[in-house]
């Protein structure tokens, strides 16, 4: 069962000039000096900046989070089911994240780590952590628990599935 503790709203605790804020405004065009994403028409994309226009350079919110190891979301996967499906689940997560980044350059995985039998994925945005958690839940069932923190600008997501050794005793 999926549980949700808070209804998602726009990142209300961000100030408009917060460098991590995905909706922050920049001079146009602005190019990220790490990943070359371009800010134009009020959004970040992978388009090249228009020719003959002097661009402003900065770090995009995603690269800033990657550089400062400051995740916007964490997805923690646990349960002995992972022993059997780990590779499949990590592939699913990487594929989903790659697809998402094509459309939304600020949604990226910062790291995937194994810790005491758990897999911990840090993402640059709360929405990507959520999207990945929901993808695992849709494909592999189990339990999903979504917890927004700090007024919804950070999300912790827990997914777990235990291998059932007693057939038919699941409630």
Question: Which residues lie near Zn ion (CB under 5 A)?
Answer: 32, 34-35, 37, 60, 63
Q: Residue 32 or 119: which CB sits closer to Zn ion?
A: 32
Rounded least distance, CB 106 to Zn ion, Å = 8
Rounded least distance, CB 34 to Zn ion, Å = 5
Q: DSSP E strands: which ranges in 29-132?
A: 30-32, 38-40, 43-45, 56-58, 73-78, 109-115, 118-123
Compute the distance between CA of residue 47 and CA of residue 152 in angstroms, rounded to an integer. Answer: 30
What are the tokens at 119? 């897999």
Q: Residue 66 or 157: which CB sits closer to Zn ion?
A: 66
Rounded least distance, CB 99 to Zn ion, Å = 18
Compute the distance between CA of residue 147 and CA of residue 89 in angstroms, rounded to an integer. Answer: 21
Rounded least distance, CB 73 to Zn ion, Å = 17
Q: Residue 62 or 89: which CB sits closer to Zn ion?
A: 62
CA distances from 75 to 118, 161, 171 (A): 10, 14, 25
Q: Residue 30 or 78: which CB sits closer to Zn ion?
A: 30
Closest of 93, 95, 72, 96 to residue 82, by C-alpha: 93
């Amino acid at each position: 069962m999926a549980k949700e503790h808070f209804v998602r709203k726009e990142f209300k605790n961000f100030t408009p000039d917060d460098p991590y804020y995905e909706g922050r405004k920049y001079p146009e065009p602005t190019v990220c000096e790490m990943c070359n994403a371009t800010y134009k028409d009020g959004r970040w994309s992978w388009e090249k900046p228009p020719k003959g226009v002097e661009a402003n350079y900065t770090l995009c919110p995603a690269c800033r989070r990657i550089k400062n190891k400051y995740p916007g979301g964490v997805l923690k996967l646990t349960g002995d089911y992972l022993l059997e499906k780990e590779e499949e689940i990590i592939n699913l997560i990487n594929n989903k994240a790659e697809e998402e980044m094509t459309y939304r350059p600020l949604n990226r995985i910062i790291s995937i780590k194994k810790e005491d039998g758990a897999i911990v994925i840090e993402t640059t945005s709360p929405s990507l952590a959520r999207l990945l958690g929901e993808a695992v839940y849709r494909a592999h069932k189990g339990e999903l628990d979504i917890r927004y923190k700090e007024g919804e600008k950070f999300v912790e997501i827990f997914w777990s599935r235990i291998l059932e050794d007693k057939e038919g005793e699941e409630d």
